[in-house]
Chain A
């Protein structure tokens, strides 16, 4: 265990080298800027600094402006340069985003399909996920399930999949669970891999994918579609004409309105929960790391003691984030399964459920 802690410490130390240099030179360290720089998206992927030289991966820019499509490397826009009428806004509502300058001098945000740092991280993580799952599937294709039992990584994956199917998907959805199992498993492993990769501070990992609201929005939309496209008649009847006293439905459709709003609040809660948890985790780790540099000017005694505090808290938060990475993937999958299961309920099943509840109460 000790050597793992040492490795984590050394990695954290490497991560802090550029900032330490800046702090030593007496330059003001803006913690908020550092944190926002790490958790927000960008058109280039800063890997590390080698001496004075910045090692950065410039990502492709794909933009559709007023005069058509543009595709070039983001290095063209590095340092505030303008290229093909496009530049990265340094202030205003589009700060940090590519804008085009119109003839009247105003800035217009074009359709931006650029491969940003988050997008590149998303591709890398997706590739990792596909390779892992197809690798596991390949093992199953090559072995007889009734004679060979998997070990190592495939064994862990089987344990996870079995746990999810037996403990979450089947109990929440019911007899139709096989239809939704691939989606829920994909969602779980997609979130888990992205969360875990976000905790590794070395390229090509380390991008804050699930801490980006666009990513969680698409995941929540996928659950929304799975719930509502495959919902039963009984589910829609419960939404549009719920089983409540009539005066809650006519003349004012209070309950149908609340139920209808509920269709959107469920995926909205999924989206915000995942986004907030992961973003907050990343922010806290970065802020704890920045303590070292913020206190650099406060003297050797204060700075030395704060380095120890910062390291210990960073290690603790990283361990906690490992738990959160799994927990958030699990919670997203479980809630998605619950919402899908609610949309799959038949009147017969509901009656059985209510009679069971009544007998429990009695």
Chain B
């Protein structure tokens, strides 16, 4: 029975000791510890939330990047296609222009050749006329009785004219 009978002295000292311990720990002990633990818990949960948010943002940025990359790839393909089309178009136009230019040049060359030929012909006619006049003039000046003499004269004259012409061309050259 003695064990089940609380002693007044021990009750008093226990109440005092427990009261003092409780006051000390409740004032200077546990609030500090609980506050720090609470702060760390909040910090961890905030950091986790921020990390989660950052991860979501990174995922979003990644998906945006992928979309941009895909879009850019499409645009690149379009631009390349356009460039190829433009190139083909330009080549076709250039070929067309070149053909036209070539035809124009050929026509010009032909026209120039024709005009030169005409000029040569006119020049040749003029020269023939001049030779005929000169020959006629010589013939008229000489005394021409017979036909052989006339022919010999004409041939001599022709030789002279030719030699003169050759000399002229030598001096011009």
Give me the interface of A with B, judged by CB distance under 8 Å.
39-41, 62, 95-97, 111-116, 118-119, 122-123, 126, 129-130, 133-134, 136-137, 140-141, 145-146, 149, 157-158, 161-162, 165, 178, 181-183, 185-186, 189-190, 212-215, 217-219, 221-222, 279
Contacts and interface: CB of A to CB of B under 8 A. Distances in A.
Contact of A219 (B9, B18, B25): B18
B21 interface: yes
Nearest to A97: B7
A65 to B, nearest CB: 13
Contact of B31 (A165, A182, A217, A219): A182
Interface of B: 2-15, 17-18, 20-22, 24-26, 28-37, 39-40, 43
B9 A40 contact: no
A182 B20 contact: no
A190 B19 CA distance: 11
Nearest to B5: A213
B11 A218 contact: yes
B11 A214 contact: yes
Contacts of A40: 2-3
Contacts of A116: 7, 9-10
Main secondary structure of the interface of A (DSSP, over half): helix
Nearest to B21: A126
Contacts of B21: 126, 129-130, 186, 190
Contact of B33 (A119, A123, A158): A158
Contact of A112 (B2, B9, B40): B9
Given A137-B28, A217-B14, 4 more contacts: A116-B9, A137-B32, A158-B33, A213-B6
A119 B39 CA distance: 38
Contacts of B37: 145, 158, 161-162, 165
Contact of A126 (B6, B8, B10, B17): B17
Nearest to B20: A126
Contacts of A178: 34
B14 A218 contact: yes
Contacts of B33: 133, 136-137, 140, 157-158, 161
A142 B18 CA distance: 27
B10 A212 contact: yes
B25 A130 contact: yes
A219 B21 CA distance: 12
B6 A141 contact: no
B21 to A, nearest CB: 5
